[in-house]
Amino acid sequence: MLHLIPRAPRGALAAAAVCLLATTLTACGGDSAGDDGGSEGGGGTAVTLITKDSINPFFVSMQEGAKKAAEENDVDLTVAAGEEDGDEEGQIQAIENAVAQGQDGILITPNGPGVNPAIEKARDAGLYVIALDTPPDPAETVDITFATDNFKAGELIGEWTAAQLGGEKATIALLDLFNDKVVSVDYNRDQGFLTGMGIDTADAEKNGDEEATGSYSGGDYEIVCNEPTDGAEDGGRTAMETCLSKTDGINVVYTINEPAAYGAAAALEAAGLSTDDVLIVSVDGGCQGVDAVTEGVIDATSQQYPLDMAQKGVEAIASIADGGEAPETTEGLDFYDTGVKLVTDTPAEGVESIDSAAASEICWG
């Protein structure tokens, strides 16, 4: 059982902390929100959701899930976001505002380790803090994390890729999240993919330190590049262009998420290469990504459930504020696992999956 720090008294709202950053979704004042954010609900429990950005469909869907749960649980919800993936300062300001307002809890997808001290101060002030999607490092920085098993998500697309190659040499481009900071979702997906391929990894919490050549479960491999994308389409395109400058023989492209995959596919097309000859795999499972699987742009993706993460997070804080017990982690893990499914229209023997038609029924965004 995870501990709950005794709650501090709810103080008066400091005038200097009324507004969140202009780059967030949150508006000043008011007690109801339109499409541009603000406070949702109006109950006695107050919660702030802080996503990495407000552009990626994954985080937009997470915000919608939290808003729905807030309405159903009589929670006063404030929505905030970093200006972009990796913006730690924007998230820190949002955390400080939640503390100044004497809120009950925070849901956050951390943009990096720089937010950890602010999270710790929030917990010291009595707020219950839940990480969503991205477990912080160390995990005990927050009270609990609700997330996809990101290592498993990577492992599934790695196992599928190895099976599809059928013994052919794998010439791999790894399109990661960052190269200037360490984030668990980044190394877990990358290392999970390589492990699923049957490639030995070195430091489990570091990207790019495995042997550049060697053997995978079906034959030989060569890793051409590890390039950052910032989880964005333009970043994916730039990263893929860098990889293609080293060789045009790439036949496997791992991407941190689906926006990066779209950028990679665009770069391949611009270089006159057919995506029919390259396996592009990713993690997300958003509705646009599922459509990309149907269209053959992405060959396989691991589907996550951000609405479920956010809804469970809001429900948990509402329950705790009402005297309920704190949630527990999934057995054998240091977080609460919200599930993952492999989506592909080309199933591989021994790798459990669902097709894009089934995935479209449960996709988000």
> What is the pLDDT, as a whole number, of residue 82?
95
> What is the pLDDT, as a whole number, of residue 39?
55
Position 99: which residue type?
A: V
- Asked whether residue 171 carries a pLDDT value surpassing 60, the answer given is yes
Answer whether residue 197 is part of any domain.
yes
Tell me which long-range contacts 66-70 makes (C-beta under 8 A, separation of at least 24). Answer: 66/40, 66/107, 66/310, 66/311, 66/313, 66/314, 67/33, 67/40, 68/307, 68/311, 69/310, 69/311, 69/312, 69/313, 69/314, 69/315, 70/40, 70/41, 70/314
Per the prediction, the chain carries an average pLDDT of: 89
Contact 256, 189 (CB under 8 A): yes
In angstroms, the CA 118 to CA 100 distance is: 12
Segment 24-28 mean pLDDT: 31
* Same-domain status, 329 and 195: no
Position 192: which residue type?
A: G
Instruction: At 6, list the tokens.
Output: 């005794």
At 182-213, the pLDDT tens digits run 899 999 999 999 999 999 999 999 999 999 99
Query: Both ends of the chain: CA-CA distance in Å?
Result: 33
Answer whether residue 107 is part of any domain.
yes
Structure confidence at residue 29 as a pLDDT band (50, 70, 90): very low
At 139-156, the pLDDT tens digits run 999 999 999 999 999 999
* Same-domain status, 75 and 193: no
- Asked whether residue 12 carries a pLDDT value surpassing 90, the answer given is no
Answer whether residue 139 is part of any domain.
yes
Segment 297-313 mean pLDDT: 97
* Same-domain status, 170 and 77: no
> What is the pLDDT, as a whole number, of residue 44?
86
> Based on the structure, what is the number of domains in the chain?
2
> What is the pLDDT, as a whole number, of residue 365?
67
At 83-96, the pLDDT tens digits run 999 999 999 999 99
Answer whether residue 1 is part of any domain.
no
Answer whether residue 9 is part of any domain.
no
Q: Which residue has the tokens 């390039």?
A: 227
Q: Select the more confidently predicted residue: 10 or 347.
A: 347
> What is the pLDDT, as a whole number, of residue 193?
98
- Asked whether residue 229 carries a pLDDT value surpassing 90, the answer given is yes
Q: Which residue has the tokens 């089934």?
A: 358
Question: Listing from the earlier edge strand, what are the strands of the sheet with 252-255?
Answer: 213-215, 220-228, 170-176, 252-255, 279-284, 300-303, 341-343
> What is the pLDDT, as a whole number, of residue 43?
60
Domain limits for position 296: 150-303+340-360
Contact 115, 311 (CB under 8 A): no
> What is the pLDDT, as a whole number, of residue 264?
98
Answer whether residue 114 is part of any domain.
yes
Angle at alpha carbon of residue 301, lines to 327 and 334, rounded to 5°? 25
* Same-domain status, 123 and 217: no
Structure confidence at residue 24 as a pLDDT band (50, 70, 90): very low
**CATH code: domain of residue 353:** 3.40.50.2300
Least confident of 28-42, 52-66, 202-216, 259-273: 28-42
Bond into 138 cis (ω within 30): yes
pTM over 0.85: no
Residue 283, judged by CB atoms within 10 A of its CB (0-12, 13-18, 19+), counts as buried
* Same-domain status, 120 and 234: no
> What is the pLDDT, as a whole number, of residue 3?
29
* Same-domain status, 82 and 130: yes
